[in-house]
Structures are given as C-alpha cells and as structure tokens.
Amino acid sequence: MKRLTAVVCAFVLLGVAPAKADDAVRTVLDQYAAQAGPGVAVHTARYTLSAGTGKINEQRAITASDHFRIGSQTKTFTAAVVLQLVDEHRVELDAPISRYLPGVVSGNYNGDVITVRQLLQHTSGLVRDVRDARANPDGTFSLAELVRSAMDEPAQSAPGAALNYSNVGYLVLGLLIEKITAKPAGTVITERIISPLGLTQTAFPAPGDRALSTPFLNGYIGGRLGPFFFWTEATTSQELSFWSTAGAMSSTLDDIRRFYRALLGGQVVSPAALAEMRRTVSSYGLALAEVPLTCGGVAWGHNGSLPTGHYSLTLATDDGRSVSVVTNTNQPGSQPSAIAVADKALCTS
C-alpha cells in the first residue's frame, strides 16, 4: 500500500562548477527546489548540482546517473526517427498520413488531410490524450488499440489551424515508424538513435516493464505545505505501453543531455531535416521547442512529465552548451521554473 509521508526538505548541494557559475545556478536551483519536488537537480557537461532529496525520509542527492522517466522528451526521439525516414525518402513530411496508414486516422478525423508534419508539430487537431483504450489481458496496450480508441474523440481544431498538444498524434507516429520499418517502434528508436549515440543508460521499455534501472530517482505525486512534503510514491505506478512513443522512455541527466547535444550537433538527422525540426509554430518545431535565453540567443529542447512523479527538461544551443534539469514530481508548477534553472546554467557556462 502506498504511504502518504510528510518530510522536511533538507538541502544538499553537490558539484564542481566554477565558483561564480556555481553560486548563480545554486541560487536559482534553491528557489526552484523550494517549490518543486522533494528533490531537484541540474546537470551540464561540467557539473551536477542537487538540492533536496531523491528519496523521501533520506538525505540522498540526485546524481547525473540516476534513471527516471523522461515523459514527453520521448517525442524528440520519435520525431528524430521519422526525420531519418524522411532523409531516406521513405516518408514525406507534407504527405497525408493516410498514404502510409490507410484507414487508421478516421472517425472524427480525416487522414487524407492530416499530414506527417502536422502530427509532428501538434497542429493535426487530434485529441490530446487516450481516454478509453482496451488493455490486453496482461494489462499492456498496443499502439493500434491506443490510436483506434481515440478516433471517436472530438478534434481540438481543424488540421493546420492551431498548435494543440497531442499525445495521440505521437502514438500515430509510432504506428508510422512500425509500418515503414516492419519493427516495433521501441526497437527502431534503440537501433537508430540510442545505440549509435552510445546512450547506454537510455531505454524504451518493453510492454509490462515498469522498473527503472539502478540507480533510479524515486518519483512522487502529492503536494507541500511550507517546508513539509506530502508525497505518495508513484515510481512504478504506470503501464508504460500506454504512453509508448509519446512518453514511455527512461534516461539519465547525462544521457538525455548528450542526446540533445548530438541532435543539435548534426549527428542524428541531416542538416535539412534538422532545419525542418526547427521551423516553429508558436515556438514549437518538430518535437523541438525554441527557448529564448536571458543572455541572448536561443536554446532548443523539450520537457517531459509522467504520473510516475518525474518532470524533466533538456536544452541545448548551437554553440555546444547543454543542460538537463529534473525534479521528482510531475507537478512542477513553480516560479522560478525549470526553464529558469536551465537558462541560468546555460548563461553562466
């Protein structure tokens, strides 16, 4: 039985950052930690700073090697595979999804009108979330059933009319990957991105596998009152096949930072494909968000959360800077935000 626990947050800061950068990032990290989860951490190529605790009732700093659910940062991996297929002339960005998945996007939607680009950019109009999919007898979910169950849901907008975030759209993209490659989407992401980049601590879970590799970051849902936390652990509470190519993956602060650095550095897709990923609508490209920096210029990346009690954010810049942030709750509505932490880290690098 899950136990509701109240703990006092004790702050522990670790790192080897240069003094001025350390002090500046430490200040905003402390402010973020005072409102976010039991613990928070920020990681760059040069240092890791942790505040709070990675596990309640213990004083445990979060490290760059702790595994956690990256939630919607999974979408950037999914999009990168689709763009690789575009590079290989096996998929066209502006082709209707019905060309590749006839009859799949149907019901309240028109697959002859909705394009691959619109699915990638959340402008397809598809409903945000799956609501009533039928689980397999073992409690797992198939991509086909997840998508089928969403086709009778009302559209958020007409195709191309507006940016409306859709997890369902990225499940359709998972089906696209499977149709074109004749392999499970998780296998394709592993073979095409995780393994070539040497992201040995990043994984796409098999259906039914809820465990995180050790060491892992405990995730919590709940809230806080002043210095007290009231959290229920949720680390393994989710059947991850329900989130699949929209949000199922796990990684570490160091691996996820290196992935975005590699993507922005041209190691994952062609320059032309990367340029398409960075063509934005309301500051959102193809699974890459554009984030202005207070020191000038922009960073690119994505955030992610799951009801496992994990929230994370990763940003990278064209000149080689990169940063990842995590907190062990999926309710990070705080000021300053994770973006403020990441901004300070990038601007003092």
Dihedral angle at the C-alpha atoms of 330, 262, 289, 50, nearest 10 degrees? 30
Measured between alpha carbons, how far is 74 from 278 in angstroms, rounded to an integer?
A: 17
Measured between alpha carbons, how far is 140 from 310 in angstroms, rounded to an integer?
A: 21
Which pairing describes strands 39-44 and 220-225: parallel, antiparallel, or unpaired?
unpaired
**Dihedral sign from CA coordinates of 119, 197, 270, 338:** positive
Q: What is the DSSP letter of 72?
A: G
72 is catalytic: yes
**Among the options 50, 72, 241, 251, which is catalytic?**
72
Measured between alpha carbons, how far is 31 from 100 in angstroms, rounded to an integer?
A: 48
Report the SS3 class of residue 202. Answer: coil
What tokens does 209 get? 């596998």
Following DSSP, what letter does each residue of 272-290 receive, concatenated? HHHHHHT--BTTB-SS-EE
Q: What is the DSSP letter of 133?
A: P
Contact 247/72 with Cβ under 8 angstroms? yes
Catalytic residue numbers, as ranges: 72
